[in-house]
Amino acid sequence: MQIAVIGTGYVGLVTATVFADLGNDVIAVDVNEEKVRGLKAGKMPFYEPGMEEMVTRNHADGRLDFTSDTAEAVQRSEVIFICVDTPPKADGSSDLSHVEAAAKAIARAMNGPKVVVNKSTVPVGTGDLVGRIIEAHKPPQYTFEVVSNPEFLREGSAIADSLHPDRIIIGASNPQATMKLIELYAPLERQMLICDVASAEIIKYASNSFLATKISFINAIANLCEKVGADVGQVVKGMGADRRISAEFLSPGLGFGGSCFPKDTLSILRVSEKYGCKFGIVEAALEVNQARAQLFVARMERILGSLTGKTIGLLGLSFKPDTDDLREAKSLEIIELLLARGATVRAYDPVAMEKAKDLLGGKITLCDTPYQLVEGCDAVAIITEWNEFKQLNLERMHALMKQPVVFDGRNIYPPERMAKFGFKYYSVGRPEPA
């Protein structure tokens, strides 16, 4: 099938590459010509395991190409995916300017019937908006259909999620357009759910908001566990054993970040307000999440005394492992809180260092290895649960630190192991060391 993908951000590049790998002829569009040249040369704009190899192979085999010419891509394709950014505005609602621009560009380039697929995360009603824009700007003789096909990719496992999705949502009002998407996804042999466009648009926001709420719920439980001396790990085991609940996303820690959960929860709140629906559950989830970094730093201050003049090492910067994404990363919030209290901050991350240099400038010291980071530190804070950190030589780490104090924001170590190596170990939702 001839496919165009508008946008080579995270969703767009993964979508284009996976469809090409399934044997389709795919052309991906980005207005940034330098980025297009880089992609043609095999330079990835972000880190994702397996991405570079898959892009390089499919580009070399001629199934995947890149261009900055939207009209060329539209005219070569029968199905066009809109995969552009929908960042939050100041009030939390979604900025649809990139979606609107893509719709206009598609309309003006139309040279035949097209199926236009919204894969960007967009509020309910966007499919209708795209339809109106295309209708207003297209040549009158050509027809089109708008479909909603939300993505459910997790950074760090996006390729596997694309090839083995839990479900494929197709929101459409036209049977021919529906069949076109079914044909496209048929090689995956996965469950497909067919619904109307509005329902498909809400499914994405509802899913992410529910998972964000689940994370905030267990973090609120972790707060209670710390107060009463309970172990949140045992609580999670007990809750997760209930099949109605499961342990998925019951991971106490620093809260959710990244490009999806913070943005999508705010967006669904704004949409709900627009239609007069109060969404107090999501408001509470956001309130819990916004307090996580502050509570974490306040605990450091309580244990260490004044943070002024203290050297704090941060293990991890990306918002989650297996990605270099710093969007809404808790590390950034924690860094600002520590600096405001007079601390000197060092940091190390396996893949996010280049982006951190651009973002943080000279605010903190970026280290080349975990052991360089911990040397002379008054405390180390674990921010991202990279597997590399789980395998550190704790004896060596203890010897290098000024004080053997560890604040674990992701609970990657058993407390008894840390005690064995002589650390004062403070984790989330667990009893504090004596």
Contacts by 425-429 with C-beta closer than 8 Å and gap 24+? 426/299, 426/303, 428/219, 428/222, 428/226, 428/232, 428/252, 428/253, 428/254, 429/219, 429/221, 429/222, 429/223, 429/225, 429/226, 429/230, 429/231, 429/232, 429/233, 429/235, 429/252
Q: Rounded CA gap, 298 and 264, in Å?
A: 28
With tokens 């172990």, the residue in question is: 231
Q: Rounded CA gap, 204 and 271, in Å?
A: 13
Active site residue 260: yes
- CA 211 from chain centre, in angstroms, equals 13
Q: Which amino acid is at 100?
A: E
Helix axes 330-340 and 280-304, enclosed angle (nearest 10): 40
Q: Which of 260, 277, 367, 377 is catalytic?
A: 260
Task: Work out the widest C-alpha separation in the chain, in whole angstroms.
Answer: 77
Yes or no: say if 348 and 386 are a contact pair by the CB < 8 Å rule: no
Q: What is the dihedral of CA 318, 320, 323, 327, to 10 degrees?
A: -50
Pairing of strands 79-82, 64-67: unpaired
Q: Rounded CA gap, 195 and 178, in Å?
A: 10
Yes or no: say if 314 and 393 are a contact pair by the CB < 8 Å rule: no
Yes or no: say if 179 and 147 are a contact pair by the CB < 8 Å rule: no
Strand partners, 81: 5, 117
Neighbours of 63 (CB within 10 A): 19
Q: Which amino acid is at 293?
A: A
Active site residues: 260
